[in-house]
Amino acid sequence: MGIGVSIFLIAVGAILRFAVTTTTRGLNIGVVGLILMIVGGLGLLLSLLFWSSVSPARSEREETVIREELVDHHHHL
């Protein structure tokens, strides 16, 4: 689940939870909204954790430095 989908779920959940006043039999729309907000929040958190683990700043910190040494093969003893 991407960041965009997570934000969408949070927004739809908030609308269902706080803005919809219709009552239904057998289905609590407010609870559905709360569940969507929780799922969206978890998806957002996991997406941010994933992207922080593959960010360029992290790869620069873990970059391996290779040192070249010039060797004089014509060195006389």
Domain ranges of the chain: 3-59
Q: Nearest-5° angle of CA 21, CA 25, CA 27?
A: 75
Tell me the C-alpha distance between 77 and 67, whole Å. Answer: 26
At residue 69, the pLDDT reads 72
Tell me the C-alpha distance between 19 and 30, whole Å. Answer: 9
pLDDT tens for the 77 residues of the chain, in order: 789 999 999 999 999 999 998 888 999 999 999 999 999 999 999 999 988 887 666 555 555 666 677 766 666 55
At residue 24, the pLDDT reads 87
Give the helix/strand (H/E) hosting 71.
none
At residue 43, the pLDDT reads 96
Provide the token pair at 34: 């709360």
Tell me the C-alpha distance between 5 and 19, whole Å. Answer: 20
